[in-house]
């Protein structure tokens, strides 16, 4: 009932905490991966050069509704992929949990002090 129309496929352009524009999408059918990739499109070869074991590149298909990220298995085919690619975003912002937080612990009001103030 609350299925948003046109939500099938397609990457969302979002602003990352570090300020960069990234593409976010669940890629894959069975085991979908929550991908956050840089929004900079580059040739497949350039993306492949940036690829690391924990940093994948993604094949970008342009559709009516924007762009869609695909597994870059295009490299298995012969020749160069003529679609643009993107590379996984490597965030430079500190993770939220690592941010030092001064815990001003709000002491719970003991029962009985909640009487009319
Ligand atoms: Zn980031």
In a domain, 3, yes or no: no
In a domain, 19, yes or no: yes
Q: 117 C-alpha vs ligand 1 centroid, how far in Å?
A: 47
Question: Phi and psi of 102, rounded to 5°?
Answer: -80, 115
How many domains are contained in the chain? 1
Q: 64 C-alpha vs ligand 1 centroid, how far in Å?
A: 27
CB neighbour list of residue 69: distance below 8 Å, 6 or more residues apart: 11, 23, 25, 27, 35, 37, 58, 59, 60, 61, 86
Token code pair at residue 86: 């993107």
The boundaries of the domain holding residue 80 are: 12-95
Residue 58 has pLDDT above 70, yes or no: yes
Q: 34 C-alpha vs ligand 1 centroid, how far in Å?
A: 14
Residue 25 has pLDDT above 80, yes or no: yes
Higher per-residue pLDDT: 79 or 44: 44
Q: 104 C-alpha vs ligand 1 centroid, how far in Å?
A: 29
**pLDDT at position 13, please?**
95
Compute the average pLDDT of residues 27-33.
85
Q: How many CB atoms lie within 10 A of CB 85?
A: 26
Q: 40 C-alpha vs ligand 1 centroid, how far in Å?
A: 13
In a domain, 6, yes or no: no
């Amino acid at each position: 009932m609350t299925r948003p129309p046109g939500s099938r496929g397609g990457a969302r352009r979002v602003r990352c905490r570090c300020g960069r524009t990234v593409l976010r999408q669940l890629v894959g059918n069975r085991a979908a991966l929550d991908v956050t990739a840089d929004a900079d499109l580059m040739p497949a070869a350039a993306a492949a050069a940036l690829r690391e074991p924990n940093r994948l590149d993604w094949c970008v298909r342009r559709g009516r509704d924007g762009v869609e990220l695909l597994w870059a298995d295009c490299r298995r085919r012969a020749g160069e992929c003529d679609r643009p690619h993107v590379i996984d975003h490597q965030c430079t912002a500190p993770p939220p949990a690592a941010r030092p937080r001064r815990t001003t612990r709000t002491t719970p009001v003991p029962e009985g002090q909640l009487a009319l103030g």
